[in-house]
């Protein structure tokens, strides 16, 4: 009989329990497709007695994931605990040192330590696979490392955090303010224990850093990503965007330019009729552009037990079949240091500004824009509050540097109430 592929699973939360269900439910299917049985030898989690909806009685239990990672009856260590450091990193390092392959869903760990871990895997003759770390059930890592391996990638962009997309589309469809929908999402269990990982754009930034490394052959550089979350998006912004034929998305963009690697995660206006504009609720979408293939769009569930466990098992099945791909699609020692670059391509911007309600206030803002070399495409003033005058401005194409210069000018006018909201309008 063919030797089974033996798994050790650390972390039995939503994803870990989902993996156990797949192995138990589809044992025959996995054996046929992988060419060998796939079995679970042992598991580990913080609490042993919790009801996880799966039968774990036939598996050995290890309280320490590092001990699990070193077991002789484990061929592939599944790190499904999460966290950038601590037990997840220690157990992953132990698994590689013990000659195990690693499958993980941990985008934070790889975004911060991916280069060192990839080099450790290469030195040990092992692989680290992480399809589940980016965009849930969407096979975007495999698309870049395998399906598009013959392409020079020009741009990667997408909506990579389902919670943010849920909040933004729910605000629009229900006409609800940000805080109300935020509280709703939290009650539904959509938010991380630290919500800023989601709404602050950090979770999505981790994912973008990993895709950029694969796409452009560079070392993972999460610190170089310009990150802005959705916390300042108001229901008024949502409505104004809809009036202009746009929708607001937390959009990640990575592209190699003459100045270096541009990586940004920020709210953008996208055409409502575009693939990204039609994306609803917690769905993710990644757009890849290559010189041979052109543009392809991958869309699907970005989180949840089934989709993420499915992605974990896709990596396990590749290992069962003997398919071995370098962590970031090419040898880690050959990855280049990325030269960070700010967004240099000109684009229109949406500006929402609150001004003191007094004569000449709007003229001062227009002057500050003109002095920064920015022309106004359209402008609208809305019903006044008691002491403030809300103004909406859409600029002609300009650069972020020019916009920052204009915002510095706004601050000197003495008519601003609070900080302006500036959102790039992304043409797709």
The answer to whether the beta carbons of residues 126 and 99 sit under 8 Å apart is yes
For the chain, how far is it from start to end, CA to CA, in angstroms?
53
Q: Is 207 a catalytic residue?
A: yes
Q: Three-state DSSP class for 68? A: helix
Closest of 266, 232, 235 to residue 249, by C-alpha: 266
Task: Report CA-CA distances (Å) from 133 to 95, 195, 248.
Answer: 18, 18, 24
- Helix H, strand E, coil C: the string for 390-424 is EEEEEECCECHHHHHHHHHHHHHHCCECCCCEEEE
* Angle separating helix axes 305-321 and 14-25, nearest 10 degrees: 60
C-alpha span between 151 and 5 (Å, rounded): 33
Closest of 232, 263, 233 to residue 248, by C-alpha: 233
Tell me which DSSP letter residue 150 carries: T
* Residue 214 exposed, middle or buried by CB count within 10 Å (0-12, 13-18, 19+): buried
Q: Of residues 89, 100, 107, 207, which has the active-site annotation?
A: 207
Token couple for 28: 């025959």
C-alpha span between 130 and 366 (Å, rounded): 49
Which DSSP helix (H) or strand (E) runs through 8?
strand 5-10
Token couple for 51: 């009801």
| Pairing verdict, β 283-290 and 153-159 | antiparallel
The answer to whether the beta carbons of residues 96 and 102 sit under 8 Å apart is yes
* Residues 117, 119, 122: CA angle, nearest 5 degrees: 110
Which residues is 275 bridged to in the sheet? Answer: none
Report the catalytic residues.
207
């Amino acid at each position: 009989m063919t030797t089974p592929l033996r798994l050790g699973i650390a972390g039995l939360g939503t994803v870990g329990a989902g993996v156990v269900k797949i192995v138990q439910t589809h044992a025959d299917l996995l054996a046929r497709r992988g060419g060998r049985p796939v079995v679970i030898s042992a598991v580990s989690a913080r609490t042993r007695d919790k009801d996880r909806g799966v039968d774990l009685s036939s598996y050995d239990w290890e309280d320490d994931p590092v001990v699990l990672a070193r077991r002789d009856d484990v061929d592939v260590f599944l790190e499904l605990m999460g966290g950038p450091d601590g037990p997840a990193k220690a157990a992953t390092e132990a698994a590689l040192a013990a000659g195990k392959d690693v499958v993980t869903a941990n985008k934070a760990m790889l975004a911060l330590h991916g280069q060192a871990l990839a080099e450790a895997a290469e030195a040990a003759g092992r692989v680290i696979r992480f399809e589940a770390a980016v965009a849930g059930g969407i096979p975007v890592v495999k698309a870049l490392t395998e399906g598009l391996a013959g392409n020079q990638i020009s741009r990667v962009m997408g909506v990579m955090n389902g919670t943010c997309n849920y909040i933004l589309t729910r605000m629009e469809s229900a006409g609800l303010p940000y805080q109300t929908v935020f509280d709703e999402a939290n009650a539904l269990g959509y938010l991380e224990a630290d919500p800023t990982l989601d709404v602050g754009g950090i979770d999505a930034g981790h994912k973008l850093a990993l895709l950029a490394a694969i796409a452009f052959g560079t070392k993972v550089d999460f610190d170089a990503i310009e990150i802005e979350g959705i916390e300042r998006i108001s229901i008024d912004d949502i409505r104004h965007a809809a009036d202009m034929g746009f929708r607001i998305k937390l959009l990640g963009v990575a592209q190699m330019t003459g100045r270096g690697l541009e990586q940004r995660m920020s709210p953008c206006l996208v055409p409502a009729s575009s693939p990204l504009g039609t994306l609803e609720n917690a769905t993710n979408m990644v757009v890849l552009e290559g010189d041979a293939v052109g543009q392809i769009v991958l869309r699907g569930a970005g989180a949840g037990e089934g989709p993420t466990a499915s992605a974990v098992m896709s990596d396990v099945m590749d290992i069962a079949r003997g398919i071995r791909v370098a962590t970031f699609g090419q040898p880690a020692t050959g990855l280049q240091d990325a030269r960070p670059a700010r967004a240099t391509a000109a684009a229109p911007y949406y500006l929402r500004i609150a001004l003191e309600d007094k004569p000449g206030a709007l003229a001062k803002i227009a002057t500050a824009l003109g002095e920064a070399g920015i022309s106004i495409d359209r402008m609208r003033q809305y019903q006044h509050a008691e002491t403030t005058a809300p103004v909406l401005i859409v600029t002609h194409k300009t650069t972020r540097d020019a916009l920052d210069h204009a915002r510095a000018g706004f601050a000197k006018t003495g008519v601003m109430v609070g900080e302006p909201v500036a959102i790039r309008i992304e043409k797709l």
